[in-house]
Protein backbone atom coordinates (compact mmCIF):
# COMPACT_ATOMS: atom_id res chain seq x y z
CA UNK A 1 0.00 0.00 0.00
CA UNK A 2 2.89 2.40 0.81
CA UNK A 3 4.39 1.90 -2.66
CA UNK A 4 1.02 2.63 -4.25
CA UNK A 5 0.71 5.83 -2.25
CA UNK A 6 4.22 6.97 -3.21
CA UNK A 7 3.30 6.61 -6.88
CA UNK A 8 0.03 8.38 -6.24
CA UNK A 9 1.72 11.32 -4.51
CA UNK A 10 4.19 11.68 -7.40
CA UNK A 11 1.24 12.15 -9.72
CA UNK A 12 -0.55 14.61 -7.41
CA UNK A 13 0.76 17.67 -9.26
CA UNK A 14 -0.85 16.39 -12.46
CA UNK A 15 -4.01 15.68 -10.55
CA UNK A 16 -4.12 19.23 -9.20
CA UNK A 17 -3.51 20.80 -12.58
CA UNK A 18 -5.45 18.60 -14.94
CA UNK A 19 -7.04 15.57 -13.33
CA UNK A 20 -10.40 16.99 -12.39
CA UNK A 21 -12.89 14.87 -14.29
CA UNK A 22 -15.89 16.96 -13.38
CA UNK A 23 -16.94 20.57 -13.74
CA UNK A 24 -15.51 23.03 -11.23
CA UNK A 25 -18.36 24.22 -9.11
CA UNK A 26 -16.83 26.89 -6.88
CA UNK A 27 -18.21 26.65 -3.36
CA UNK A 28 -21.39 24.76 -4.21
CA UNK A 29 -22.34 22.26 -1.51
CA UNK A 30 -22.25 18.58 -2.54
CA UNK A 31 -24.45 15.95 -0.92
CA UNK A 32 -21.55 13.65 -0.08
CA UNK A 33 -17.79 13.68 -0.47
CA UNK A 34 -15.36 10.78 -0.19
CA UNK A 35 -12.07 12.55 0.47
CA UNK A 36 -8.35 11.78 0.51
CA UNK A 37 -8.64 8.23 -0.78
CA UNK A 38 -6.55 6.36 -3.30
CA UNK A 39 -8.79 6.23 -6.37
CA UNK A 40 -8.73 2.87 -8.13
CA UNK A 41 -11.43 3.63 -10.65
CA UNK A 42 -12.03 0.24 -12.28
CA UNK A 43 -10.44 1.18 -15.61
CA UNK A 44 -7.06 -0.46 -14.86
CA UNK A 45 -5.54 3.00 -14.90
CA UNK A 46 -2.89 4.04 -12.40
CA UNK A 47 -4.28 4.83 -8.92
CA UNK A 48 -4.26 8.46 -7.81
CA UNK A 49 -5.22 10.42 -4.72
CA UNK A 50 -8.31 12.58 -5.11
CA UNK A 51 -11.74 13.40 -3.72
CA UNK A 52 -15.04 12.06 -5.07
CA UNK A 53 -18.01 14.44 -4.91
CA UNK A 54 -21.60 13.24 -5.18
CA UNK A 55 -24.87 15.01 -5.96
CA UNK A 56 -28.31 13.49 -6.52
CA UNK A 57 -26.97 9.97 -6.29
CA UNK A 58 -24.36 10.41 -9.00
CA UNK A 59 -20.68 11.23 -9.17
CA UNK A 60 -20.45 14.96 -9.87
CA UNK A 61 -16.71 15.48 -9.71
CA UNK A 62 -13.45 13.62 -9.11
CA UNK A 63 -10.61 16.00 -8.37
CA UNK A 64 -7.95 17.16 -5.95
CA UNK A 65 -9.88 20.37 -5.24
CA UNK A 66 -11.27 20.73 -1.74
CA UNK A 67 -15.04 21.28 -1.92
CA UNK A 68 -17.67 21.55 0.81
CA UNK A 69 -20.17 18.72 1.28
CA UNK A 70 -23.10 18.03 3.59
CA UNK A 71 -21.48 14.74 4.63
CA UNK A 72 -17.84 13.74 4.35
CA UNK A 73 -16.21 10.33 4.42
CA UNK A 74 -12.50 10.58 5.18
CA UNK A 75 -10.93 7.77 3.16
CA UNK A 76 -7.33 8.72 3.96
CA UNK A 77 -5.05 5.71 3.76
CA UNK A 78 -7.73 3.63 2.05
CA UNK A 79 -8.74 2.63 -1.47
CA UNK A 80 -11.82 4.20 -3.03
CA UNK A 81 -13.16 1.95 -5.77
CA UNK A 82 -16.36 1.32 -7.65
CA UNK A 83 -18.79 -0.86 -5.73
CA UNK A 84 -18.08 -4.53 -6.35
CA UNK A 85 -20.24 -6.20 -9.00
CA UNK A 86 -21.44 -9.74 -8.26
CA UNK A 87 -22.67 -11.10 -11.58
CA UNK A 88 -23.51 -14.61 -10.37
CA UNK A 89 -25.71 -14.84 -7.29
CA UNK A 90 -28.63 -16.72 -5.81
CA UNK A 91 -30.11 -13.87 -3.78
CA UNK A 92 -33.43 -14.10 -5.64
CA UNK A 93 -35.46 -14.48 -2.43
CA UNK A 94 -33.28 -12.44 -0.06
CA UNK A 95 -35.22 -9.23 -0.68
CA UNK A 96 -38.16 -10.49 1.35
CA UNK A 97 -36.48 -11.24 4.70
CA UNK A 98 -33.08 -9.55 4.25
CA UNK A 99 -33.64 -6.24 2.41
CA UNK A 100 -30.18 -5.03 3.42
CA UNK A 101 -28.62 -7.98 1.56
CA UNK A 102 -26.29 -7.70 4.52
CA UNK A 103 -23.93 -10.52 3.63
CA UNK A 104 -23.20 -8.88 0.28
CA UNK A 105 -22.87 -5.20 1.21
CA UNK A 106 -20.56 -6.23 4.08
CA UNK A 107 -18.11 -7.47 1.43
CA UNK A 108 -18.39 -4.34 -0.70
CA UNK A 109 -20.99 -5.49 -3.23
CA UNK A 110 -23.30 -2.84 -4.71
CA UNK A 111 -24.86 -4.89 -7.55
CA UNK A 112 -26.13 -8.47 -7.70
CA UNK A 113 -27.34 -10.39 -10.74
CA UNK A 114 -29.91 -13.02 -9.73
CA UNK A 115 -31.62 -15.87 -11.57
CA UNK A 116 -28.52 -17.98 -12.23
CA UNK A 117 -27.87 -21.70 -12.83
CA UNK A 118 -31.30 -22.20 -14.40
CA UNK A 119 -33.23 -21.09 -11.30
CA UNK A 120 -35.35 -17.94 -11.08
CA UNK A 121 -38.51 -16.97 -9.21
CA UNK A 122 -40.40 -16.28 -12.44
CA UNK A 123 -42.20 -17.12 -14.65
CA UNK A 124 -44.66 -18.95 -12.43
CA UNK A 125 -47.94 -20.74 -13.01
CA UNK A 126 -49.81 -23.56 -11.31
CA UNK A 127 -47.69 -26.12 -13.14
CA UNK A 128 -44.31 -25.04 -11.78
CA UNK A 129 -44.93 -22.73 -8.82
CA UNK A 130 -44.21 -25.09 -5.91
CA UNK A 131 -41.03 -26.65 -7.24
CA UNK A 132 -39.66 -23.45 -8.80
CA UNK A 133 -39.93 -21.55 -5.51
CA UNK A 134 -38.48 -24.47 -3.55
CA UNK A 135 -35.56 -24.70 -5.98
CA UNK A 136 -34.70 -21.04 -5.48
CA UNK A 137 -35.29 -20.67 -1.74
CA UNK A 138 -34.63 -24.06 -0.13
CA UNK A 139 -31.65 -24.88 -2.34
CA UNK A 140 -29.92 -21.83 -0.87
CA UNK A 141 -31.56 -21.94 2.59
CA UNK A 142 -32.96 -18.43 2.38
CA UNK A 143 -36.23 -17.98 4.33
CA UNK A 144 -39.11 -17.14 2.00
CA UNK A 145 -42.84 -16.72 2.45
CA UNK A 146 -44.23 -18.16 -0.76
CA UNK A 147 -47.78 -17.13 0.17
CA UNK A 148 -46.74 -13.47 0.21
CA UNK A 149 -45.26 -13.70 -3.29
CA UNK A 150 -47.88 -13.25 -5.99
CA UNK A 151 -45.71 -12.25 -8.96
CA UNK A 152 -45.90 -14.40 -12.07
CA UNK A 153 -43.62 -12.61 -14.54
CA UNK A 154 -40.45 -10.53 -14.50
CA UNK A 155 -42.22 -7.20 -14.15
CA UNK A 156 -44.11 -8.55 -11.15
CA UNK A 157 -40.89 -9.81 -9.57
CA UNK A 158 -39.17 -6.46 -10.03
CA UNK A 159 -42.17 -4.66 -8.51
CA UNK A 160 -42.22 -7.04 -5.52
CA UNK A 161 -38.56 -6.30 -4.82
CA UNK A 162 -38.90 -2.54 -5.12
CA UNK A 163 -42.04 -2.35 -2.99
CA UNK A 164 -40.00 -3.66 -0.06
CA UNK A 165 -36.85 -1.72 -0.91
CA UNK A 166 -33.30 -3.05 -0.99
CA UNK A 167 -29.90 -1.68 -0.06
CA UNK A 168 -28.10 -2.52 -3.30
CA UNK A 169 -28.84 -2.69 -7.01
CA UNK A 170 -30.20 -5.81 -8.68
CA UNK A 171 -30.61 -7.22 -12.14
CA UNK A 172 -32.15 -10.51 -13.16
CA UNK A 173 -31.91 -13.40 -15.58
CA UNK A 174 -34.62 -15.92 -16.39
CA UNK A 175 -33.76 -19.43 -15.26
CA UNK A 176 -34.13 -22.00 -18.02
CA UNK A 177 -35.39 -24.62 -15.56
CA UNK A 178 -38.14 -22.30 -14.37
CA UNK A 179 -39.01 -21.28 -17.94
CA UNK A 180 -39.13 -24.88 -19.15
CA UNK A 181 -41.23 -26.06 -16.21
CA UNK A 182 -43.70 -23.23 -16.90
CA UNK A 183 -44.36 -24.84 -20.29
CA UNK A 184 -44.15 -28.59 -19.58
CA UNK A 185 -43.55 -29.01 -15.85
CA UNK A 186 -40.75 -31.26 -14.62
CA UNK A 187 -41.06 -33.75 -17.46
CA UNK A 188 -37.89 -35.56 -18.51
CA UNK A 189 -38.39 -35.46 -22.27
CA UNK A 190 -37.56 -33.42 -25.31
CA UNK A 191 -39.93 -30.64 -26.29
CA UNK A 192 -42.10 -30.59 -29.38
CA UNK A 193 -41.60 -27.82 -31.92
CA UNK A 194 -44.76 -26.13 -30.66
CA UNK A 195 -43.56 -26.26 -27.04
CA UNK A 196 -40.18 -24.85 -27.98
CA UNK A 197 -41.85 -22.04 -29.90
CA UNK A 198 -44.00 -21.28 -26.86
CA UNK A 199 -40.96 -21.22 -24.60
CA UNK A 200 -38.99 -18.92 -26.91
CA UNK A 201 -41.97 -16.57 -27.22
CA UNK A 202 -42.32 -16.42 -23.45
CA UNK A 203 -38.60 -15.73 -23.07
CA UNK A 204 -38.87 -12.88 -25.57
CA UNK A 205 -41.74 -11.38 -23.56
CA UNK A 206 -39.76 -11.59 -20.31
CA UNK A 207 -36.77 -9.93 -21.99
CA UNK A 208 -39.09 -7.11 -23.04
CA UNK A 209 -40.06 -6.75 -19.38
CA UNK A 210 -36.41 -6.16 -18.46
CA UNK A 211 -34.73 -9.52 -17.92
CA UNK A 212 -31.06 -9.30 -18.90
CA UNK A 213 -30.84 -12.77 -20.39
CA UNK A 214 -31.24 -16.47 -19.67
CA UNK A 215 -29.33 -18.83 -17.38
CA UNK A 216 -28.85 -22.52 -18.00
CA UNK A 217 -28.36 -25.06 -15.21
CA UNK A 218 -27.59 -28.12 -17.29
CA UNK A 219 -26.63 -30.21 -14.28
CA UNK A 220 -29.93 -29.60 -12.46
CA UNK A 221 -33.40 -30.92 -13.19
CA UNK A 222 -35.49 -29.85 -15.00
CA UNK A 223 -32.94 -27.94 -17.11
CA UNK A 224 -30.83 -31.07 -17.39
CA UNK A 225 -33.67 -32.78 -19.28
CA UNK A 226 -33.05 -30.66 -22.40
CA UNK A 227 -30.99 -31.41 -25.49
CA UNK A 228 -28.68 -29.08 -27.41
CA UNK A 229 -31.40 -28.33 -29.98
CA UNK A 230 -33.48 -26.69 -27.25
CA UNK A 231 -30.52 -24.58 -26.12
CA UNK A 232 -29.88 -23.40 -29.68
CA UNK A 233 -33.47 -22.22 -30.08
CA UNK A 234 -33.28 -20.20 -26.86
CA UNK A 235 -29.85 -18.83 -27.77
CA UNK A 236 -31.19 -17.58 -31.11
CA UNK A 237 -33.92 -15.70 -29.24
CA UNK A 238 -31.30 -14.08 -27.01
CA UNK A 239 -28.92 -13.27 -29.86
CA UNK A 240 -31.59 -11.27 -31.68
CA UNK A 241 -31.62 -8.87 -28.71
CA UNK A 242 -27.91 -9.27 -27.82
CA UNK A 243 -28.86 -10.64 -24.42
CA UNK A 244 -26.67 -12.78 -22.20
CA UNK A 245 -26.69 -16.59 -21.99
CA UNK A 246 -25.02 -17.97 -18.86
CA UNK A 247 -24.42 -21.65 -18.28
CA UNK A 248 -23.71 -24.01 -15.45
CA UNK A 249 -22.13 -26.61 -17.70
CA UNK A 250 -23.69 -30.03 -18.20
CA UNK A 251 -20.61 -31.61 -16.64
CA UNK A 252 -17.65 -30.15 -14.75
CA UNK A 253 -15.54 -33.24 -14.11
CA UNK A 254 -14.90 -36.29 -16.31
CA UNK A 255 -16.81 -34.82 -19.28
CA UNK A 256 -15.87 -31.19 -18.72
CA UNK A 257 -14.30 -30.61 -22.11
CA UNK A 258 -17.24 -32.16 -23.94
CA UNK A 259 -19.59 -29.89 -21.97
CA UNK A 260 -17.52 -26.84 -22.89
CA UNK A 261 -17.55 -27.88 -26.55
CA UNK A 262 -21.35 -28.20 -26.46
CA UNK A 263 -21.75 -24.59 -25.36
CA UNK A 264 -19.04 -23.24 -27.67
CA UNK A 265 -20.87 -24.89 -30.58
CA UNK A 266 -24.09 -23.17 -29.48
CA UNK A 267 -22.37 -19.79 -29.31
CA UNK A 268 -20.64 -20.37 -32.63
CA UNK A 269 -23.91 -21.28 -34.35
CA UNK A 270 -26.04 -18.48 -32.93
CA UNK A 271 -23.67 -15.59 -32.16
CA UNK A 272 -25.04 -15.37 -28.61
CA UNK A 273 -22.99 -13.77 -25.83
CA UNK A 274 -22.02 -16.78 -23.72
CA UNK A 275 -20.92 -16.61 -20.09
CA UNK A 276 -19.56 -19.82 -18.57
CA UNK A 277 -20.46 -19.66 -14.91
CA UNK A 278 -18.02 -20.46 -12.09
CA UNK A 279 -15.31 -21.90 -14.33
CA UNK A 280 -13.68 -24.81 -12.51
CA UNK A 281 -12.34 -28.34 -12.82
CA UNK A 282 -14.13 -30.74 -10.48
CA UNK A 283 -12.53 -33.96 -9.30
CA UNK A 284 -8.97 -35.22 -9.11
CA UNK A 285 -9.11 -36.68 -12.61
CA UNK A 286 -9.23 -33.11 -13.98
CA UNK A 287 -6.83 -31.43 -11.58
CA UNK A 288 -3.94 -29.75 -13.36
CA UNK A 289 -5.88 -29.15 -16.58
CA UNK A 290 -6.64 -25.46 -16.02
CA UNK A 291 -4.13 -24.39 -18.67
CA UNK A 292 -5.63 -26.76 -21.22
CA UNK A 293 -9.13 -25.48 -20.44
CA UNK A 294 -8.07 -21.84 -20.78
CA UNK A 295 -6.38 -22.66 -24.11
CA UNK A 296 -9.65 -24.09 -25.44
CA UNK A 297 -11.51 -20.92 -24.50
CA UNK A 298 -8.81 -18.64 -25.90
CA UNK A 299 -8.89 -20.51 -29.21
CA UNK A 300 -12.66 -20.15 -29.40
CA UNK A 301 -12.40 -16.39 -28.82
CA UNK A 302 -9.71 -16.11 -31.46
CA UNK A 303 -12.15 -17.81 -33.82
CA UNK A 304 -14.84 -15.23 -33.14
CA UNK A 305 -16.90 -16.98 -30.45
CA UNK A 306 -18.27 -14.52 -27.90
CA UNK A 307 -17.44 -16.44 -24.73
CA UNK A 308 -16.42 -15.21 -21.31
CA UNK A 309 -16.22 -16.68 -17.81
CA UNK A 310 -16.50 -15.94 -14.12
CA UNK A 311 -15.13 -17.74 -11.08
CA UNK A 312 -15.64 -17.92 -7.33
CA UNK A 313 -12.36 -17.80 -5.36
CA UNK A 314 -12.63 -21.08 -3.44
CA UNK A 315 -11.43 -24.66 -3.85
CA UNK A 316 -14.80 -26.07 -2.83
CA UNK A 317 -18.17 -25.89 -4.53
CA UNK A 318 -21.66 -25.98 -3.03
CA UNK A 319 -24.90 -27.38 -4.35
CA UNK A 320 -27.85 -29.65 -3.71
CA UNK A 321 -27.26 -33.33 -3.07
CA UNK A 322 -29.72 -34.29 -5.83
CA UNK A 323 -27.11 -33.41 -8.49
CA UNK A 324 -25.47 -36.73 -7.56
CA UNK A 325 -28.60 -38.65 -8.60
CA UNK A 326 -29.60 -39.69 -12.14
CA UNK A 327 -31.85 -37.34 -14.08
CA UNK A 328 -34.66 -39.88 -14.40
CA UNK A 329 -34.98 -40.03 -10.62
CA UNK A 330 -35.98 -36.32 -10.63
CA UNK A 331 -38.57 -36.68 -13.39
CA UNK A 332 -41.77 -35.08 -12.08
CA UNK A 333 -40.14 -32.96 -9.38
CA UNK A 334 -39.08 -33.37 -5.76
CA UNK A 335 -42.34 -35.07 -4.76
CA UNK A 336 -41.86 -37.82 -7.33
CA UNK A 337 -38.21 -38.08 -6.34
CA UNK A 338 -39.17 -38.74 -2.72
CA UNK A 339 -41.76 -41.30 -3.87
CA UNK A 340 -39.02 -43.15 -5.73
CA UNK A 341 -36.80 -43.06 -2.67
CA UNK A 342 -39.59 -44.61 -0.59
CA UNK A 343 -40.31 -47.33 -3.16
CA UNK A 344 -37.92 -50.26 -2.59
CA UNK A 345 -37.84 -51.30 -6.26
CA UNK A 346 -37.19 -47.75 -7.48
CA UNK A 347 -34.62 -47.21 -4.78
CA UNK A 348 -32.79 -50.35 -5.84
CA UNK A 349 -32.59 -48.98 -9.39
CA UNK A 350 -31.06 -45.78 -8.01
CA UNK A 351 -28.57 -47.76 -5.89
CA UNK A 352 -27.52 -49.78 -8.91
CA UNK A 353 -26.25 -46.62 -10.63
CA UNK A 354 -23.60 -46.34 -7.89
CA UNK A 355 -24.14 -42.56 -7.79
CA UNK A 356 -20.79 -41.90 -9.55
CA UNK A 357 -21.19 -38.13 -9.31
CA UNK A 358 -21.00 -38.48 -5.53
CA UNK A 359 -17.45 -39.79 -5.88
CA UNK A 360 -16.48 -37.50 -8.77
CA UNK A 361 -17.17 -34.58 -6.44
CA UNK A 362 -14.88 -35.58 -3.63
CA UNK A 363 -16.58 -38.60 -2.12
CA UNK A 364 -18.55 -38.96 1.11
CA UNK A 365 -15.66 -37.90 3.35
CA UNK A 366 -15.25 -34.58 1.51
CA UNK A 367 -18.91 -33.73 0.94
CA UNK A 368 -20.26 -31.83 3.95
CA UNK A 369 -23.94 -31.19 4.70
CA UNK A 370 -24.60 -27.48 5.09
CA UNK A 371 -28.38 -27.25 5.23
CA UNK A 372 -31.36 -29.51 5.74
CA UNK A 373 -33.70 -26.49 5.94
CA UNK A 374 -34.14 -27.15 9.64
CA UNK A 375 -35.26 -30.77 9.27
CA UNK A 376 -32.07 -32.52 10.44
CA UNK A 377 -30.08 -29.88 12.29
CA UNK A 378 -27.88 -32.43 14.08
CA UNK A 379 -26.41 -33.52 10.76
CA UNK A 380 -25.51 -30.08 9.44
CA UNK A 381 -21.76 -29.60 9.41
CA UNK A 382 -21.08 -33.34 9.12
CA UNK A 383 -19.61 -35.13 6.13
CA UNK A 384 -21.86 -37.68 4.46
CA UNK A 385 -19.86 -40.51 6.02
CA UNK A 386 -20.06 -38.87 9.46
CA UNK A 387 -23.82 -38.47 9.06
CA UNK A 388 -24.19 -42.12 8.09
CA UNK A 389 -22.13 -43.19 11.11
CA UNK A 390 -24.24 -40.99 13.38
CA UNK A 391 -27.38 -42.64 11.99
CA UNK A 392 -25.86 -46.11 12.31
CA UNK A 393 -26.63 -46.83 8.65
CA UNK A 394 -24.79 -47.76 5.48
CA UNK A 395 -24.00 -44.65 3.37
CA UNK A 396 -26.63 -45.03 0.64
CA UNK A 397 -29.35 -45.95 3.13
CA UNK A 398 -28.46 -42.87 5.16
CA UNK A 399 -28.73 -40.67 2.06
CA UNK A 400 -32.10 -42.21 1.31
CA UNK A 401 -33.45 -41.55 4.80
CA UNK A 402 -32.12 -38.00 4.99
CA UNK A 403 -33.46 -36.97 1.60
CA UNK A 404 -36.90 -38.38 2.41
CA UNK A 405 -36.93 -36.44 5.69
CA UNK A 406 -35.95 -33.21 3.90
CA UNK A 407 -38.39 -33.49 1.01
CA UNK A 408 -35.60 -34.10 -1.48
CA UNK A 409 -33.50 -30.99 -0.84
CA UNK A 410 -30.23 -31.08 1.10
CA UNK A 411 -27.38 -28.69 0.36
CA UNK A 412 -23.71 -29.61 0.67
CA UNK A 413 -20.20 -28.22 0.27
CA UNK A 414 -18.08 -30.34 -2.08
CA UNK A 415 -14.33 -30.20 -1.43
CA UNK A 416 -13.40 -31.28 -4.94
CA UNK A 417 -11.29 -28.54 -6.54
CA UNK A 418 -7.54 -27.96 -6.75
CA UNK A 419 -6.20 -24.67 -5.39
CA UNK A 420 -3.51 -24.51 -8.08
CA UNK A 421 -6.14 -24.66 -10.83
CA UNK A 422 -8.20 -22.06 -9.00
CA UNK A 423 -5.27 -19.64 -8.72
CA UNK A 424 -4.27 -20.15 -12.36
CA UNK A 425 -7.77 -19.22 -13.49
CA UNK A 426 -7.90 -16.35 -10.99
CA UNK A 427 -4.69 -14.80 -12.35
CA UNK A 428 -6.45 -14.06 -15.64
CA UNK A 429 -7.57 -10.44 -15.87
CA UNK A 430 -10.33 -11.35 -18.35
CA UNK A 431 -12.19 -13.66 -15.93
CA UNK A 432 -14.55 -11.96 -13.49
CA UNK A 433 -14.92 -12.85 -9.83
CA UNK A 434 -18.42 -13.69 -8.57
CA UNK A 435 -19.80 -15.29 -5.43
CA UNK A 436 -22.32 -17.91 -6.62
CA UNK A 437 -23.84 -17.26 -3.19
CA UNK A 438 -26.98 -15.83 -1.65
CA UNK A 439 -27.33 -12.78 0.58
CA UNK A 440 -27.77 -13.75 4.24
CA UNK A 441 -28.31 -11.77 7.44
CA UNK A 442 -24.83 -12.63 8.65
CA UNK A 443 -25.16 -10.68 11.92
CA UNK A 444 -28.11 -12.79 13.08
CA UNK A 445 -27.58 -16.29 11.67
CA UNK A 446 -25.36 -19.28 12.23
CA UNK A 447 -26.40 -21.24 9.15
CA UNK A 448 -23.73 -23.49 7.63
CA UNK A 449 -23.71 -21.98 4.12
CA UNK A 450 -20.60 -21.80 1.92
CA UNK A 451 -18.40 -18.85 3.01
CA UNK A 452 -18.46 -17.53 -0.55
CA UNK A 453 -21.85 -15.97 0.30
CA UNK A 454 -20.32 -13.70 2.93
CA UNK A 455 -16.70 -13.34 1.85
CA UNK A 456 -15.94 -13.89 -1.85
CA UNK A 457 -14.62 -10.43 -2.63
CA UNK A 458 -12.51 -9.84 0.51
CA UNK A 459 -11.22 -13.41 0.12
CA UNK A 460 -10.25 -12.69 -3.49
CA UNK A 461 -8.46 -9.46 -2.52
CA UNK A 462 -6.59 -11.30 0.23
CA UNK A 463 -5.51 -14.04 -2.19
CA UNK A 464 -4.33 -11.42 -4.68
CA UNK A 465 -2.28 -9.75 -1.95
CA UNK A 466 -0.80 -12.93 -0.49
CA UNK A 467 0.02 -14.58 -3.83
CA UNK A 468 1.04 -11.40 -5.67
CA UNK A 469 -1.32 -12.29 -8.49
CA UNK A 470 -1.70 -8.82 -10.02
CA UNK A 471 -1.61 -5.07 -9.28
CA UNK A 472 -4.56 -3.71 -7.32
CA UNK A 473 -5.91 -1.85 -10.35
CA UNK A 474 -6.27 -5.17 -12.20
CA UNK A 475 -7.86 -6.86 -9.18
CA UNK A 476 -10.44 -4.07 -8.89
CA UNK A 477 -11.14 -4.27 -12.62
CA UNK A 478 -11.99 -7.98 -12.24
CA UNK A 479 -14.70 -7.18 -9.67
CA UNK A 480 -16.09 -3.93 -11.10
CA UNK A 481 -15.74 -2.78 -14.71
CA UNK A 482 -15.17 -6.25 -16.17
CA UNK A 483 -18.38 -7.90 -14.90
CA UNK A 484 -20.33 -4.72 -15.72
CA UNK A 485 -19.08 -4.90 -19.32
CA UNK A 486 -19.83 -8.63 -19.58
CA UNK A 487 -23.46 -7.80 -18.75
CA UNK A 488 -23.46 -4.96 -21.33
CA UNK A 489 -23.85 -2.49 -18.46
CA UNK A 490 -20.38 -0.97 -18.50
CA UNK A 491 -21.76 2.37 -19.64
CA UNK A 492 -23.95 2.52 -16.52
CA UNK A 493 -21.82 1.31 -13.61
CA UNK A 494 -18.60 -0.48 -12.68
CA UNK A 495 -16.33 2.57 -13.01
CA UNK A 496 -15.78 5.71 -10.97
CA UNK A 497 -16.62 8.34 -13.55
CA UNK A 498 -18.54 11.60 -13.61
CA UNK A 499 -22.21 11.02 -14.36
CA UNK A 500 -22.19 7.40 -13.20
CA UNK A 501 -24.27 6.31 -10.20
CA UNK A 502 -22.29 6.78 -6.98
CA UNK A 503 -21.73 3.13 -6.14
CA UNK A 504 -18.53 3.13 -4.09
CA UNK A 505 -16.60 0.82 -1.79
CA UNK A 506 -13.96 2.14 0.62
CA UNK A 507 -11.49 -0.38 2.03
CA UNK A 508 -7.99 -0.86 3.44
CA UNK A 509 -6.07 -2.81 0.80
CA UNK A 510 -3.56 -4.12 3.35
CA UNK A 511 -6.18 -5.38 5.79
CA UNK A 512 -9.18 -6.39 3.72
CA UNK A 513 -9.76 -10.09 4.29
CA UNK A 514 -12.30 -12.75 5.05
CA UNK A 515 -12.73 -14.08 8.58
CA UNK A 516 -15.36 -16.67 7.64
CA UNK A 517 -14.54 -20.31 7.02
CA UNK A 518 -16.55 -23.49 6.41
CA UNK A 519 -17.25 -23.90 10.12
CA UNK A 520 -18.27 -20.27 10.74
CA UNK A 521 -19.31 -18.90 7.34
CA UNK A 522 -21.45 -16.11 8.82
CA UNK A 523 -18.49 -14.08 10.12
CA UNK A 524 -18.20 -10.67 8.46
CA UNK A 525 -15.11 -9.62 6.51
CA UNK A 526 -12.68 -7.02 7.81
CA UNK A 527 -11.11 -3.99 6.16
CA UNK A 528 -14.20 -2.60 4.42
CA UNK A 529 -15.27 0.65 6.05
CA UNK A 530 -17.95 2.18 3.78
CA UNK A 531 -20.25 1.09 0.99
CA UNK A 532 -22.25 3.70 -0.92
CA UNK A 533 -25.12 2.84 -3.29
CA UNK A 534 -26.65 5.54 -5.50
CA UNK A 535 -25.08 8.19 -3.30
CA UNK A 536 -26.36 6.83 0.03
CA UNK A 537 -24.29 5.07 2.68
CA UNK A 538 -25.58 1.51 3.16
CA UNK A 539 -22.65 0.11 5.16
CA UNK A 540 -20.62 2.06 7.67
CA UNK A 541 -17.84 0.80 9.93
CA UNK A 542 -19.05 -2.77 10.16
CA UNK A 543 -22.81 -2.28 10.17
CA UNK A 544 -25.57 -1.87 7.57
CA UNK A 545 -27.57 1.34 7.70
CA UNK A 546 -31.32 1.75 7.28
CA UNK A 547 -30.97 3.24 3.79
CA UNK A 548 -32.61 1.35 0.91
CA UNK A 549 -31.44 3.19 -2.23
CA UNK A 550 -31.13 0.09 -4.41
CA UNK A 551 -32.70 -0.08 -7.85
CA UNK A 552 -33.73 -2.95 -10.09
CA UNK A 553 -31.82 -2.36 -13.31
CA UNK A 554 -33.01 -3.48 -16.72
CA UNK A 555 -31.53 -3.33 -20.19
CA Rg, the chain, in Å? 23
Question: Are 33 and 67 spatial neighbours (Cβ–Cβ below 8 Å)?
Answer: yes
Residue 22 pLDDT class (50, 70, 90 cuts): very low
| pLDDT at site 555 | 75
Q: Count the helices and strands in the chain (H runs, E runs).
A: 20, 21
Average pLDDT of span 163-191: 97
Residue 11 has pLDDT above 70, yes or no: no
Q: Are residues 388 and 481 in the same domain?
A: no
> What phi and psi values does residue 214 have, to the nearest 5 degrees?
-130, 140
247 within domain boundaries: yes
383 within domain boundaries: yes
Domain count of the fold of the chain: 3
Q: Are residues 426 and 288 in the same domain?
A: yes
| pLDDT at site 26 | 53
| pLDDT at site 20 | 45
Average pLDDT of span 248-257: 97
| pLDDT at site 220 | 97
pLDDT tens for 59-69 read 999 999 999 99
Distances (CA, A) of 188 to 123, 200, 258, 554: 19, 19, 22, 32
Least confidently predicted of 279-293, 439-453, 493-507: 439-453
Domain that holds residue 388: 319-414
Three-class DSSP labels, 197-251: HHHHHHHHHHHHCCCCEEEEECCCCCHHHCCHHHHHHHHHHHHHHCCEEEEECCC
* CB burial of residue 130 (10 Å; 0-12, 13-18, 19+): middle
516 within domain boundaries: no
| pLDDT at site 5 | 46
**Domain boundary, last residue among 487, 516, 531:** 487
CB atoms < 10 A from the CB of 273, how many? 21
**Domain boundary, last residue among 466, 487, 508:** 487
513 within domain boundaries: no
Q: Are residues 72 and 106 in the same domain?
A: no
| pLDDT at site 23 | 46
Average pLDDT of span 289-311: 98
**Strand runs (DSSP E) across 64-175, as ranges?**
69-74, 79-82, 84-86, 109-114, 169-172, 174-175
63 within domain boundaries: yes
Residue 459 has pLDDT above 90, yes or no: yes
Q: Are residues 73 and 92 in the same domain?
A: no
| pLDDT at site 180 | 98
Q: Which helix (H) or strand (E) holds 276?
A: strand 273-276
**Domain boundary, last residue among 445, 464, 487:** 487
| pLDDT at site 486 | 98
Q: Are residues 229 and 328 in the same domain?
A: no
Q: Are residues 429 and 406 in the same domain?
A: no
pLDDT tens for 30-52 read 999 999 999 999 999 999 999 99
What is the CATH number for 70? 2.30.40.10
Arithmetic mean of pLDDT over the chain? 94
Residues of the chain above pLDDT 90, percent? 92
Expressed in angstroms, the distance from the first to the final Cα of the chain is 38
Non-local CB neighbours of 12 within 8 Å, separated by 6+ positions: 48, 49, 64
Residue 12 has pLDDT above 80, yes or no: no
| pLDDT at site 28 | 75
536 within domain boundaries: no
Beta bridge partners of 544: 539
Residue 16 has pLDDT above 90, yes or no: no
Q: Are residues 183 and 162 in the same domain?
A: yes
| pLDDT at site 59 | 98
Average pLDDT of span 525-542: 97
Q: Are residues 280 and 158 in the same domain?
A: yes
pLDDT tens for 356-412 read 999 999 999 999 999 998 899 999 999 999 999 999 999 999 999 999 999 999 999
Q: Are residues 394 and 245 in the same domain?
A: no
169 within domain boundaries: yes
Q: Are residues 340 and 442 in the same domain?
A: no
Residue 72 has pLDDT above 60, yes or no: yes
Q: Are residues 215 and 253 in the same domain?
A: yes
Residue 2 has pLDDT above 90, yes or no: no
Average pLDDT of span 138-150: 91
Residue 245 pLDDT class (50, 70, 90 cuts): very high
What is the CATH number for 238? 3.20.20.140
| pLDDT at site 27 | 62
Q: Are residues 111 and 94 in the same domain?
A: yes
510 within domain boundaries: no
Residue 447 pLDDT class (50, 70, 90 cuts): confident
For CA atoms 310, 315, 319, 324, the dihedral sign is positive
Amino acid sequence: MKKIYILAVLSLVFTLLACSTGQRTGNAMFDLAVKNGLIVDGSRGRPFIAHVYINDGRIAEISAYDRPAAKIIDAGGQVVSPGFVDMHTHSDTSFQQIPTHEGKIAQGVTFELVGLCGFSLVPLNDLNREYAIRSVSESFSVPFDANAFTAQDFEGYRNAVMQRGVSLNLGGLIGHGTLRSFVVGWESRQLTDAEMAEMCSLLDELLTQGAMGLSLGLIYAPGSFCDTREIVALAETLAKRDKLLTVHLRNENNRLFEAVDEMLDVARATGVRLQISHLKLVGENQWGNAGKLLDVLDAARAGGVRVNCDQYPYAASASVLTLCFPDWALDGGYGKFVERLRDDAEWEKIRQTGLPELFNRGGPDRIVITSTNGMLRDYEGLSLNQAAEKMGKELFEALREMLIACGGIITCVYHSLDEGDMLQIMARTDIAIASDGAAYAISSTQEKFHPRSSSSFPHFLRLVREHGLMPIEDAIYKITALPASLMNMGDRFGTLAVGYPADITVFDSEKVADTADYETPWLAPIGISYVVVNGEIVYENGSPTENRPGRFLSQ
